[in-house]
Amino acid sequence: MKTLLYLILSIALFSCQNMEVKNLAADTVDDYNKLLADKPLVLVDFSATWCPPCKQLSPILDEVALEKKGDVEIVKIDVDFYPIISEAMKVDGIPSMFLYKNGEVIWQHVGLITKEELNSLVESNQ
């Protein structure tokens, strides 16, 4: 019984660790822009569940979100669920990342990036 309880607690704690990275809560491009407008620093990751590089990037984003909590908000957008927003942002390769500062794009990148590079990016734009 104790083993089962520990297993359940471990799973619950592990799944809560990724809560710092948010999924998109916007249905239109206007909603997307409003989501970014009042935030000092937001990193948006356009990805898909079937994309191997996106799967590699996901734990890196989770770690950066935990380590830089309060400094940057990280939002994931699945291109398959939000094609209109992806098209409006001209996403033609994934993973694609956009860093916004006060609603303006200040950096973008397509492909994998290291945790160290992301941490440095956040630190240099605070």
- Residue 87 pLDDT grade (very low, low, confident, very high; cuts 50, 70, 90): very high
One DSSP character per residue, 31-93 reads: HHHHHHHT-SEEEEEEE-TT-HHHHHHHHHHHHHHHHTTTT-EEEEEETTT-HHHHHHTT--S
pTM of the model: 0.79
Is residue 16 among the annotated active site residues? no
Q: Among the options 24, 41, 54, 94, which is catalytic?
A: 54
Residue 37: per-residue pLDDT? 82
Is residue 54 among the annotated active site residues? yes
| Average pLDDT value for the chain | 83
Q: Among the options 36, 41, 43, 51, which is catalytic?
A: 51
Q: Does 81 score more than 50 pLDDT? A: yes
% of the chain residues with pLDDT over 70: 82
**What does the pLDDT look like over 33-62, one tens digit per residue?**
888 887 899 999 999 999 999 999 999 999
Domains and CATH numbers, the chain: 21-124 (3.40.30.10)
Select the more confidently predicted residue: 14 or 45: 45
- Residue 20 pLDDT grade (very low, low, confident, very high; cuts 50, 70, 90): low
